[in-house]
Chains A and B, each alone.
Chain A
Amino acid sequence: MDLGLIIGSLPALARGAAMTLFVSLTAIALGLVLGMLLSFARMSENRWLSAAARFYISALRGIPILVLLLMVFYLLPAVGLEAPPLVAAIAALTLNTAAFQAEIYRGGFAVIPPGQIEAARVLGLGETRIKTRILIPQVIWLVTPALVNEIIVLLKNSSLVSVIAVTELMRVSQQLVSKTYKPTEVYLAACLLYVLMNLCLSALGSRLRRRIGGASAGGRP
């Protein structure tokens, strides 16, 4: 075990980890918006809209991220959209997490008593106002633990964007290995960085869970 090599690689690995966090958090944030819209579509009274959302959610939950990534990376240019790897990576992760987040939000909305919505209607609030003012703030709070869990999953999945040459933690470690021929040290160090990031996240998650009292919402197990 070459400790000096690990220490020497740390700055590069840290830059990779920063990129990993950037990609993951951007995708989570975009996925939040898309997922929220999807969950509304899924719960909509319009049958076609609801069926389309259900189709999207089922399909995207059934396709491996790696395959989705290849589809976005290769098919976008085919329809004339030239996307740099970073954009393709974030797009693929967003499309994926949106499907999972949609189910999380649906679970969250399900536990809000319908009486609250009726009370708002009685007072004359518009449907959009009810969503933005009454429902979404509560649901976001309710589902934070599930959302933190989703961030962890996404953070791990983000390692796959290395295959389209985004220089996040995984890619940086591959580059280091091809320079130093020391896979054990480099990959172990990168692995520990991932574990560290996720342990922090899951500690945050269980704190939130205790605060919120374990709201039951769907999402990944």
Chain B
Amino acid sequence: MFMKIQNMETVIEIEGLTKRFGQATVLSDIDLRVYASEVVCLIGPSGSGKSTLLRCINFLESYEEGSVKVLGRLMGFEETPGGRRRASERVVRASRLALGMVFQQFNLWPHLTVLDNVTEALRSVKGLPRAEAEDIGRAMLAKVGLSEKVRSHPASLSGGQQQRVAIARALAMAPKIMLFDEPTSALDPELVGGVLEVMRDLAAEGMTMVVVTHEMGFAAEVADRVVFLEAGRLVEQGLAEQIFQSPESPRLKAFLKSWNDRRG
């Protein structure tokens, strides 16, 4: 795992990121780099800003200060001689193409079949003809182990299957980076394994991944780097074993302790 980081190409570069909701500062002065083929897990207590950070990366949320660059491209804004300007909807959309995102609540479109969910963006964003899009769609669904469900509607699938469709939907666009926001938190325990399996395979293939998770086992096993957030601040980051075996900050120690206590 450590070997992958030899290639130090930066794909996400976050500097001084600050995000507010009205009066409340939800992220303050975050600096974070993600390198190609790296798996970074974001951990932290509820409300610490993990989701918000992830959503700032693909500009589902705007931010007030600092910068988020993906593959060298500033997300959501354009630098002009007169200062920074909000980028147009089109530009934002184009820069999102490097990023795939998987949500806690799957967010599949219930009126479309599984295959249509996966091919929609291929057809309407990339403009592929139907047949070609469906070939890719089938391949992606095969990859997540759902070849038989192509014609089903999402509501007829289990949560774990729905989440795997959501992953296939994101992968179909061939993103360079995948963002996961607690992809297994909405699942019954027995369905978590299948989704983690798919994510593990992705990591092994060298996909760059940023994963918000409460699955410490997964983080310890798959993550190259673990980042601990608390109250909107990046408190500590390091290699997975370092974070879990020898945490430095008292906040992280307390968080890991409460985590272990809860699991008994």
Indicate yes or no for A touching B, C-beta below 8 A: no
